[in-house]
Amino acid sequence: MAELQMLEAAEQADQQQQQHRDVVRGSARLPPLGPVAAAAVAAVAAAAGGRPPPKGSSTSEPDPRWVRLNVGGTYFVSTRQTLCREPKSFLFRLCQDHPDLDSDKDSTGAYLIDRDPTYFGPVLNYLRHGKLIMDKNLAEEGVLEEAEFYNIASLVRLVKERIRDNENRTSQGPVKHVYRVLQCQEEELTQMVSTMSDGWKFEQLISIGSSYNYGNEDQAEFLCVVSRELNNAANGVVMEPSQKAKILQERGSRM
């Protein structure tokens, strides 16, 4: 019975629409369809269609694997896996929608973070590949501030070590060297050079001629100049190359 009523209503709606088109051609206007006819037309269209909505008619949900961040007005996009690499970090709690973390979003759905985007780049890259890579115009202290804010403990330790190494390198000043001059015969030369240790390295070899005859052959003698870095400037002891070593080097360069 209900289906019969629906069909009758649909036929009535078709008749009214046809009359409406005929009269419109004559520049006349008809009143709008009644509620029953309008409902019938909608039901028939829905039953006959069954087609998916056209593309662009509905907004799709964003991919949950990716997170969009608005750091000081600059947008960053990264995966949840990257941001959750440090379980105790601010970014980990952000991705978990932690109830104790009050985080706002902008009109695009990006998390709003009021920090310097310039120094956030090295922090994000560290989470991606585990290495601290910085531009030359960035200061380690700036990266340290961001690492402490985001509570990334491993990065905090790494930046502090780099800062400490830079301070030690600056306090030591220019590298100093200590020199030694060793006299040896030709047959001893190879063994002496191969057994050098404790940071000593070969600098120069100076021939000083023959000292004596052994059988029918002259035995040549040499002066071997070696050096190593002197790393005790902190104790106030600075050893310069001896005057004898300088003279021998100059003599050797002229030979």
Straight-line distance from the first to the last Cα atom of the chain, in angstroms, rounded to the nearest whole number = 122
pLDDT tier at 230, thresholds 50, 70, 90: confident
Residue 137 scores a pLDDT above 70: yes
Residue 177, strand partner residues: 229
pLDDT mean across residues, the chain: 74
Arithmetic mean of pLDDT, 22-33:
51
One-letter amino acid of 230: L
Query: Quick one: tokens of 61?
Result: 């949900």
User: Taking the model in full, what pTM does it have?
Assistant: 0.46
Query: Quick one: tokens of 120?
Result: 């956030």
One-letter amino acid of 108: T
Residue 192 scores a pLDDT above 90: no
Q: Which of 97-106, 162-171, 207-216 has the lowest mean pLDDT?
A: 207-216
Give me the pLDDT at residue 237, please.
Answer: 46
Residue 29 scores a pLDDT above 80: no
Spatial neighbors of 124 by CB under 8 A, at least 6 apart, are 76, 78, 82
Task: Pick 241 or 63 by higher pLDDT.
Answer: 63
Give me the pLDDT at residue 177, please.
Answer: 78
Residue 185 to residue 83: CA distance in whole angstroms: 66
Q: For residue range 35-54, list pLDDT tens digits in order.
A: 655 555 555 455 444 445 45
DSSP β-ladder status, 111-113 and 176-185: unpaired
Give me the pLDDT at residue 206, please.
Answer: 85
Spatial neighbors of 152 by CB under 8 A, at least 6 apart, are 86, 89, 123, 126, 127
Angle at the Cα of 94 (from 91 to 96), degrees rounded to 5? 115
Contact assessment for residue 222 and residue 207, using Cβ atoms and an 8 Å cutoff: yes
- For the ranges 132-141, 173-182, 201-210, 213-222, the maximum mean pLDDT occurs at 132-141
Residue 179 scores a pLDDT above 70: yes
Residue 138 scores a pLDDT above 70: yes
Measured between alpha carbons, how far is residue 78 from residues 2, 41, 91 in Å?
Answer: 56, 49, 11
Contact assessment for residue 184 and residue 207, using Cβ atoms and an 8 Å cutoff: no
Residue 223 to residue 189: CA distance in whole angstroms: 9
Task: Pick 212 or 15 by higher pLDDT.
Answer: 15
Give me the pLDDT at residue 19, please.
Answer: 61
Residue 176 to residue 229: CA distance in whole angstroms: 6
Give me the pLDDT at residue 96, please.
Answer: 83
